[in-house]
């Protein structure tokens, strides 16, 4: 039986950054749109910081390659989130950013962004809320056991994707197990084993990269303590 994944509709009206969008503002701050295919990169690393990227559709991973050639994934950026805040203070981009699936980005020029914020205090408050939220991402990466990390990660994705279609609590997993492992600091095999175990205990089910949460409470009790949302 196929699990029916909630579809991820795209509409500017649903975008958290709608208010920063040139379609809605007299000040035109969003200039470019970027369309990335799966595995295509923005290749920003070491580039001068110019602006932010709103993910309107799809998902990005931000990563560095260490001297041994391992890819260290520093962050995941999902639909309606923004990549680039981390780079403001340094004036350059730290990471390469690669699309995990078909992805649409809106580029926001930083100077124009500042203009807009200082002329509209509601927007400023809104932005601080968004950045504030982002500060809480990834708290579970400190959790000790692999099971806790993965459980917290799933719940994190779930809350960030905010998708609930009727009784089904399911969403599309936008990463490979390898990428999950790189993000959580665990081996691919460990991810696979834990998923198998969670499936056997009927806590989740996975089919075609579509993950369904069968027993959220159990998942939460596994992640216990490392959730802050």
Partner DNA sequence: CGGCGGCTTGAAAGGCATCAACATAAGTGG
Partner DNA sequence: CCACTTATGTTGATGCCTTTCAAGCCGCCG
Which residues bind to a second copy, rule: CB under 8 A? 64, 66-68, 70, 72, 74, 85-90, 94, 114-115, 117-118, 120-121, 124-125, 128-136, 138-139, 141-144, 183-185, 224-226, 228
Q: In terms of Cα–Cα distance, which of 30, 66, 25 is closest to 45? A: 66
121-135 and 110-119 helices cross at what angle (nearest 10)?
120
Q: Which two tokens stand for residue 73?
A: 């994934």
**Is residue 187 within 8 Å of 181, Cβ to Cβ?**
yes
- Backbone φ, ψ for residue 144 (5° rounding): -80, -55
193 interacts with DNA by CB under 7 A:
yes
Please say which residue, 5 or 150, places its beta carbon nearer to a second copy.
Answer: 150
Element (H, E) at 206: strand 204-207
96 interacts with DNA by CB under 7 A:
no
* Residue 192 interface partner, choices DNA, a second copy, none, CB cut-off 5-8 Å depending on type: DNA
104 interacts with DNA by CB under 7 A:
no
For the bound state, the minimum distance from the C-beta of residue 2 to a second copy, rounded and expressed in Å, comes to 34
- Backbone φ, ψ for residue 63 (5° rounding): -150, 165
CA distances from 88 to 32, 42, 49, 94 (A): 19, 17, 7, 10
Q: Provide the mask over 113-152, with x wherever binding to DNA is found by CB under 7 A and - wherever it is not.
A: -------------------------------xxxx-----
Residue with tokens 């950054």: 17
Angle, vertex CA 140, rays to CA 135 and CA 143, nearest 5? 145
Q: Provide the mask over 161-180, with x wherever binding to DNA is found by CB under 7 A and - wherever it is not.
A: ---------------xxx--
For the bound state, the minimum distance from the C-beta of residue 85 to a second copy, rounded and expressed in Å, comes to 5
Residue ranges that bind DNA, judged by CB under 7 A: 144-147, 176-178, 185-193, 195-196, 206, 208-209
């Amino acid at each position: 039986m196929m699990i029916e994944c909630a579809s991820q509709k795209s509409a500017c009206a649903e975008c958290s950054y709608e208010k920063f969008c040139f379609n809605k503002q007299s000040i035109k701050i969003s200039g470019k749109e970027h369309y990335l295919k799966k595995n295509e990169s923005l290749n920003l690393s070491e580039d001068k910081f110019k602006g932010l990227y709103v993910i309107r559709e799809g998902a990005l991973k931000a990563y560095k390659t260490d001297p041994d050639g391992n890819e260290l994934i520093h962050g995941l950026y999902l639909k309606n989130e923004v990549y680039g805040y981390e780079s403001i203070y340094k004036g350059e981009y730290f990471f390469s950013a690669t699309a995990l699936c078909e992805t649409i980005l809106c580029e926001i020029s930083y100077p124009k962004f500042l203009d807009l914020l200082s002329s509209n205090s509601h927007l400023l408050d809104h932005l601080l809320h968004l950045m504030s939220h982002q500060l809480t991402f990834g708290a579970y990466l400190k959790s000790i056991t692999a099971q806790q990390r993965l459980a917290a990660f799933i719940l994190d994705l779930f809350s960030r994707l905010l998708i609930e279609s009727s009784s089904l609590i399911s969403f599309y997993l936008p990463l490979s197990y390898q990428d999950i492992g790189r993000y959580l600091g665990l081996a691919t095999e460990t991810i696979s084993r834990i998923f198998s175990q969670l499936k056997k205990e009927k806590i989740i089910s996975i089919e075609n990269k579509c993950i369904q949460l069968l027993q959220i409470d159990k998942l939460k009790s596994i992640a216990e303590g490392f959730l802050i949302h």
